[in-house]
A and B are shown apart, each in its own frame.
Chain A
Amino acid sequence: MKLKWKIYFLCLLIYIVSIIVTAVVVTSSSYNSMIKKEIQRNLNAQASIKKSSLLYLLTNMKDSNSSARLEDYSQALVDMFTTKNVYLQIYSPQGELIADGFYLGQGKSKVDIVETSSRDYILKTIDKKHYLFINERLEYGGDYVILTTVNDVSQIQEQKSNMYLSFLRASLIGLVIMSLLVIMLGQFITNPLERLITTSKKISQGNYSHRVPVQSHDEIGMLSLQFNTMAEEIENKIKELEREAQNKQEFIDNLTHELRTPLTSIIGYSELLLAIKYDEKKFTTGLDFINSEGKRILNMVNGLMDLILSRMESLNISPASVKEIISSACERVALKANEKLIEIKIEGDDFPIPVDETLFTMAIINLLDNAIKASPAESTIKVYYSQSNNMANITINDQGCGIPQEHLHKITEPFYRVDKSRSRQQGGAGLGLALVKTILDAHHASIAFDSEPGKGTSVTISINLEDVK
């Protein structure tokens, strides 16, 4: 059931219950007070009837003979005092009806014998009409009868029913008005919720940039605001996922390309050489290409293996001497450096850095390798390291060809090469910097490139010495 109907029916229930309770309480209290007044009024009337009766008896019994009994005058009394609204009945002390002005009850009612001289009264319903019976002893000359006055009090009951009826009428009108008000209230409360629902539907359908308009500062407004925050968070996450998926797709595309290109050459040349007549020049060219392209695939596979292993391996971090790491990396590239007559200068005071020695050395070797490849013959590569404010910085500076600005942000992506043909000649698979980045990411270290084409490149690695522990 919809919330607005729940509100509607709940309000309806509360309204009906309160109307009923009010009607019952108000009607019965006013009925009670009216009936009390009526009783009082009738008691007064009865008192005056009694007095008049006594006066009548006094006058008549004095005149007649004294043997006349009180009962004998009863019918006369009844006839005299019974009026349209007040009926008189007289009972013998034994409770037998002697004279009756109230014919309805004839033969049926038998008054309870009034023992004391005090009055008592009772309300009775006879044939759907309500009567007040007041009983009292009428004593005269040592003898007594019971004088009963009967008053029709039906109009009080009628008033009570009328009151209920007018309550019902008023409450029906109230019900209509209240229904309208409650429906409006329901709309007012549920409209912002409906908007929330619509928006969340749209979001779940993939429209992640959709938002709810916030129109108030109450709980629903807060909910909308919170909902928007959540939607934004989801949108960001989705975008991030999409980016990641795109990166993965790019990686796969690149990998396919990088594999297919050399394979095309290898298969193509071998097929060609198998099919053509022997020709020394063609055979030499073809075999050379088969050889170099085979090596290229090997290079790429090695690079990929390093990349995968560096991602999978758990780091074995322990304090190591930065000087030793750099020296051992330099030794590994010394041969290549010597070939180009490149000098590698190391500067800095030794300090321990918390790294995985094997992987970190691999990263440094890759960076040195890149520097050597970029450097012209007989140039210098400088490596310096320092620590300040818990940060260790290692910088590798070369005087090589540099990297154009527009390439800088992409060079750590796998297979990305600034100059493809040059890289190919040098046997690069475009995975070196991707490997370095992976290793440094695992160390929570950062890498920054500062380069000017034609002048050289500076690569700086920064490690937070506190972070890696």
Chain B
Amino acid sequence: MKGKDIMADILIIEDEEPIRELIKMHLSLAGHSYVEAADGMQGLELIKKTNPDLILLDIMLPGLDGYELLPHIRSKAIPVIMITAKSSLSDRIKGLNLGADDYITKPFECLEIIARINALLRRCGKTKGIKGFDDIEVHLEERKVFKAGKEVELTPKEFDLLNFFIDHKGIAISREKLLEVVWEYEYEGSTRTVDMHVQKLRSKLNTNRIVTVYKIGYRLEI
């Protein structure tokens, strides 16, 4: 199902089925494609065979554990995010020393995992630079937005907001969360700012995809 909308190809190596499924759901919502492995051996095989853009790697795996897989991944220079229930500093350092690019500790937040994947992809230059929905295109490099081929003038905050919505398609995001990530501060009573920006975004882009979710916030529905 590779196509214009697919942002990256991700290999999930995780033995816990529920978590694997959860990550899969998030990835498909965010527009990534994926392959999955349920143990170390299967993971190694997929590392060798396929050429994913990024690998999500659990540490405690049957067969070969995550630490043993890291050198193989490193030799192919694929960015890796470790998913681990071990939160001790030494475990994290061990993983990072072995070549992991980032780590997420269980239990993790839904938004966090996608945000980290996108951030890492961006750092490694693996994003396509253009994303969007319907007839709307977001050019990340130039920070420009086009609607049906015509450029739409957005303020920096509006641009960041749109970008964040596209990265978390289908997921309702609270106003507080938006304030936290887009405005990078948290204080009460200013959620009105978010509402105003969303209103502007809707009218500028002339879209009804950004829907209000009752009592929560907003969701980009595609």
Given contacts A253-B86, A272-B110, contact A265 B172 (CB under 8 A): no
Q: Is A263 an interface residue (CB 8 A)?
A: yes
Does A421 lie within 8 Å of B62, measured CB to CB? yes
Contact string against B for A residues 245-262, beta-carbon threshold 8 Å, 1 for contact and 0 otherwise: 000000001001100111
Q: Which residues of B contact A176 (CB under 8 A)?
A: none
Q: Is B10 an interface residue (CB 8 A)?
A: no
Residue of A nearest to B58 (CB): A261
State which of A257, A269, A277, A420 has its C-beta within 8 Å of the C-beta of B170. A277
**Given that A276-B170, A420-B15, A421-B62 are known contacts, is A263 also in contact with B21, CB under 8 Å in the complex?**
no
Which B residue's beta carbon lies closest to that of A279? B170
The answer to whether A275 has its CB under 8 Å from any CB of chain B is: yes
Pairwise interchain contact A420-B62, C-beta atoms closer than 8 A: yes
B22 and A263 contacting across the interface, CB-CB below 8 Å: no
Q: Are A265 and B170 in contact (CB under 8 A)?
A: no
In whole angstroms, what is the CA distance A264 to B110 when docked? 10
A276 touches B16 (CB 8 A): no
Known pairs A260-B106, A268-B107, A268-B110; A276 contacts B18 (CB<8 A): no
Q: Is the CB of A289 within 8 A of B110?
A: no
> B216 to A275, Cβ gap below 8 A?
yes
Q: Could you tell me if A275 and B106 are in contact, using CB atoms closer than 8 angstroms?
A: no
Give A275 to B62 CA distance when docked, in angstroms. Answer: 33
* Band of interface residues on B: 20 to 34
- Whether the Cβ atoms of B85 and A276 lie closer than 8 Å is no
Q: Are B85 and A260 in contact (CB under 8 A)?
A: yes
Q: B172 — which chain A residues lie within 8 A by C-beta?
A: 274-276
In the assembled complex, which residues on chain B have CB atoms less than 8 Å from the CB atom of A419? 62
Pair A289/B85 contact, Cβ less than 8 Å: no
Q: Is A169 an interface residue (CB 8 A)?
A: no
A293–B107 Cα gap in the complex (Å)?
A: 13
What string of 1s and 0s marks CB contacts (under 8 Å) between B83-99 and chain A?
A: 00111100000000000
Determine whether B121 belongs to the interface, using a CB cutoff of 8 Å to chain A.
no
Interface of A is mostly: helix
Interface residues of A in 80-128 (CB under 8 A from B): none
- Say yes or no for B26: interface residue by CB 8 A criterion: yes
Once the chains bind, are B171 and A261 in contact (CB under 8 Å)? no
Docked Cα-Cα span, A282 to B21, in Å, equals 10
Contact check, B18 vs A293: say whether CB atoms are below 8 A apart: yes
Instruction: Please count how many residues in chain A sit with their CB below 8 Å of the partner chain's CB atoms.
Output: 28
Min CB distance A294 to B, Å, is 11
- A-chain residues with CB within 8 Å of residue B86 when the two chains form the complex: 253, 256-257
A260–B172 alpha-carbon span in the complex (Å): 24
A-chain residues with CB within 8 Å of residue B181 when the two chains form the complex: none
Point out the residues of chain A lying under 8 angstroms from B88, CB to CB. Answer: 253
Q: Which residues of B lie under 8 Å from residue A256 when comparing CB positions?
A: 85-87
Bound complex: CA A262 to CA B17 (Å):
10
A285 at the interface (CB under 8 A from B): yes
Q: Is the CB of B18 within 8 A of A289?
A: yes
Question: Are the CB atoms of B106 and A264 closer together than 8 Å?
Answer: yes
Would B21 and A260 count as touching, CB distance under 8 A? no
Please, which residues of chain B bring their CB within 8 A of the CB of A282?
25
Question: Quick one: which of B155-193 are within 8 Å of A by CB?
Answer: 170-173
- A261, A267, A421: the one contacting B85 at CB < 8 Å is A261
A264 & B221 in contact (Cβ 8 Å cutoff): no
Residues of B within 8 A of A260 (CB): 85, 105-107
- B109 within 8 Å of A by Cβ? yes
Nearest-Cβ distance from residue B111 to partner chain A, whole angstroms: 9
Chain B residues positioned under 8 Å from A292 (CB to CB): 18
Taking a contact as CB atoms under 8 Å apart, the answer to whether B19 and A264 are in contact is yes
Question: B-side interface residues toward A, CB under 8 Å?
Answer: 15-19, 21-22, 25-26, 29, 38, 60, 62, 85-88, 105-110, 170-173, 213, 216, 219, 221
Could you jot down 10 A-B contacts, CB within 8 Å?
A: A260-B106, A264-B22, A264-B106, A268-B110, A272-B26, A272-B171, A275-B219, A276-B29, A282-B25, A421-B17
